[in-house]
Chains A and B, each alone.
Chain A
Amino acid sequence: MTQTTPSGDNTLLSETVAVRDISRLERFLGPENYRIVTGLLKTPASIMGFVLIGLFIIIAIAAPLIAPPVNPKDPYKIPRDGFKSEPQPMMSPWTSKPPEVPFWYEAVMGTDQWVHILGTSQGQYDVFYGIIWGTRTAFRTGLIVTLATFLIGITIGSISAYYGGVVDNIIMRIVDIFLTLPFILAALILAAVLTPKIGKSLYPAIIALITFGWMGYARIIRGDILSIKERDYIMAARVIGVKDSRILFRHIIPNAIFPTLVLASLAVGDVVLSFAALSFLGIGTEVGYADWGQVLSFARNWITSLNTYWYIIVWPGLALVLYVMGFNLVGDALRDVLDPRMRGKS
Chain B
Amino acid sequence: MLTYIIRRLLLVPLLLFGVTVLIFSMLQFLGPVERSALYIRDVPRNDKQVQAIITHYGLDKPVHIQYWIWLVGKVEGTSGERRGGILFGDFGYSRTASEPVIDLIRTRFPNTLDLTIWAIAPVIFVGIWLGVQAAVHQNGFIDQAARIFSIIGTSFPTFVFGLLMLMIFYANLQWFPPGRVSDWANIVIHSEEFHQYTSLLTFDALLNGRFDIFLDALRHMAMPILTLSYISWATFLRVTRSSMLETLRMEYVITARAKGLPERDVIFKHAQPNAMIPVVTLAGFTVVGLLGGVVITETVFNYPGIGQAAADAAAQLDVITTLGFALFNGFILIVANLVVDVLYAVVDPRVRLS
Binding site for B on A (CB under 8 A): 45, 173-174, 176-178, 180-182, 184-186, 188-197, 273, 276-277, 280-283, 293, 296, 299-300, 303-308, 310, 313-314, 317, 320-322, 324-325, 328-329, 332
Question: Is B178 an interface residue, CB under 8 A from the partner?
Answer: yes
State in angstroms the CA–CA spacing of A173 and B14 once bound together.
8
The verdict on A177 contacting B167 (CB below 8 Å), with A281-B295, A283-B314 known, is no
**Which B residues, 273 to 331, have Cβ-Cβ distances below 8 Å to chain A?**
289, 292-293, 295-296, 299-300, 302, 307, 310-311, 313-315, 317-319, 322-323, 325-326, 329-330
Q: Is the CB of B333 within 8 A of A188?
A: no
21 contacts between A and B (CB under 8 A): A173-B11, A181-B19, A185-B292, A185-B310, A188-B311, A189-B314, A192-B315, A193-B26, A193-B30, A193-B323, A273-B157, A276-B157, A277-B296, A280-B159, A282-B314, A303-B166, A313-B160, A313-B163, A317-B160, A321-B156, A332-B147
The chain B residue sitting closest to A329, CB to CB, is B151
The answer to whether A173 and B159 have CB atoms under 8 Å apart is: no
Distance from A89 Cβ to chain B, minimum over Cβ atoms (Å): 15
Which chain A residue has the least Cβ–Cβ distance from B20?
A177
B51 within 8 A of A: no
A320 near B160 with CB under 8 A, answer yes
Q: Are the CB atoms of B295 and A174 closer together than 8 Å?
A: no
Interface size on B, residues (CB 8 A): 53
Q: Is B346 an interface residue (CB 8 A)?
A: no
Question: Which of A180, A197, A308 is in CB contact (< 8 Å) with B330?
Answer: A180
Q: Could you tell me the distance in whole angstroms from the C-beta of A138 to the nearest C-beta in chain B?
A: 12
| Docked-complex contact B315 and A328, CB < 8 angstroms | no
Q: Roughly how many angstroms separate A190 CA and B158 CA in the complex, as a whole number?
A: 21
Kindly report which residue of chain A lies nearest to residue B302, judged by CB atoms. A303
Asked if B188 is at the interface of the complex by the 8 Å CB criterion, the answer is: no
* B155 contact set on A, CB distance < 8 A: 321-322, 324-325, 328
Chain B at the A interface: SS class: helix
Q: Which of A188, A194, A317, A321 contacts B295 (CB 8 A)?
A: A188
Q: Within the assembled complex, what's the spacing in Å between the Cα atoms of A156 and B196?
A: 51
Query: In the complex the two chains form, is B322's CB within 8 Å of A189's CB?
Result: yes
Given contacts A185-B329, A189-B322, A280-B296, contact A177 B19 (CB under 8 A): yes
**With known contacts A182-B289, A281-B296, A174–B18 Cβ distance under 8 A:** yes
**A-chain residues with CB within 8 Å of residue B323 when the two chains form the complex:** 189, 193
Question: A residues within 8 A CB of B315?
Answer: 192, 281-283
Nearest B residue (CB) for A270: B154
User: In the docked arrangement, what's the CA distance between A281 and B312, Å?
Assistant: 8
Q: Please tell me if the beta carbons of A181 and B329 are within 8 angstroms of each other in the complex.
A: yes
A299 touches B22 (CB 8 A): no
Q: Are B15 and A177 in contact (CB under 8 A)?
A: yes
The answer to whether residues A325 and B152 also contact, given A174-B18, A313-B167 and a CB cut-off of 8 A, is yes
Q: How far is the CA of A300 from the CA of B167 in the complex (A)?
A: 11
In chain B, positions 142-194 with a C-beta closer than 8 Å to chain A are: 147, 151-152, 154-160, 163-164, 166-167, 170-172, 178
Say if the beta carbon of B29 comes within 8 Å of chain A. yes
Q: How far is the CA of A322 from the CA of B289 in the complex (A)?
A: 27
With A185-B325, A193-B26 already in contact, the answer to whether A332 and B151 are too (CB < 8 A) is yes
B334 within 8 A of A: yes
Cα A156 to Cα B31 with chains together (Å): 31
* B1-36 interface (Cβ within 8 A of A): 11, 14-15, 18-19, 22, 26, 29-30
Beyond A182-B333, A195-B317, A282-B314, 18 additional pairs, beta carbon < 8 A? A178-B22, A180-B330, A181-B329, A181-B330, A182-B289, A185-B329, A190-B26, A191-B314, A192-B317, A192-B322, A194-B29, A280-B296, A281-B296, A313-B167, A320-B157, A321-B156, A321-B157, A329-B151
Measured between alpha carbons, how far is A320 from B163 in the docked complex, in Å?
Answer: 13
Q: Across the interface, which residues of A come within 8 angstroms of B160, CB to CB?
A: 296, 313, 317, 320-321
Tell which of A186, A188, A194, A276 has the most Cβ of chain B within 10 Å.
A188
CB distance from B174 to the nearest CB of A (A): 10
Query: For residue B299, which residues in chain A have a CB less than 8 angstroms away from its CB?
Result: 281
By a CB distance below 8 angstroms, the chain B residues around A303 are: 166, 170-171, 178, 302
Please state if A193 and B159 are interface contacts (CB–CB under 8 Å).
no
- Residues in B with CB closer than 8 Å to A281 are 295-296, 299, 311, 314-315
Residue of A nearest to B308 (CB): A281
Which has the most chain B C-beta neighbours within 10 Å: A173, A197, A277, A314? Answer: A277
- Kindly identify which residue among B154, B330, B337 contacts A328, using a CB–CB cutoff of 8 Å: B154
Chain B minimum-CB-distance residue to A341: B246
Contact assessment for B326 and A185 in the assembled complex, using a CB-CB cutoff below 8 Å:
yes
By the criterion CB–CB under 8 Å, are A176 and B15 in contact? yes
A320 to B160, CA, bound (A): 9
Do B329 and A182 touch across chains, with their CB atoms under 8 A apart?
Answer: yes
In the complex, which of the residues A184, A195, A196, A317 contacts B163, with contact meaning CB atoms closer than 8 Å? Answer: A317
B172 touches which one: A189, A191, A276, A307 (CB < 8 A)? A307
Are the CB atoms of A192 and B314 closer together than 8 Å? yes
Q: Inside 8 A of A307's CB, which chain B residues have their CB?
A: 167, 171-172
- Smallest Cβ distance from B346 to chain A, in angstroms? 22
B18 touching A189, Cβ below 8 Å? no
For A185, the chain B residues whose CB sits under 8 A away are 292-293, 295, 307, 310, 325-326, 329
Q: B164 near A317 (CB under 8 angstroms)?
A: yes
Question: In the complex, what residue of chain A is closest to B153 when comparing beta carbons?
Answer: A328
A63 to B293, CA, bound (A): 38
Interface centre among A177, A185, A186, A322 (most CB of B within 10 A): A185
Chain B hits for A310, CB < 8 A: 167
Q: Are A325 and B22 in contact (CB under 8 A)?
A: no
Q: CA A192 – CA B324 in complex, angstroms? A: 13
Contacts of B318 in A (CB 8 A): 192
* Neighbouring A residues of B167 by C-beta, 8 Å: 306-307, 310, 313
Chain A nearest Cβ from B246, distance in angstroms? 8
- The smallest C-beta distance from A280 to any residue of chain B, in angstroms, reads 5
- Residues of A with C-beta under 8 A to B333: 180-182
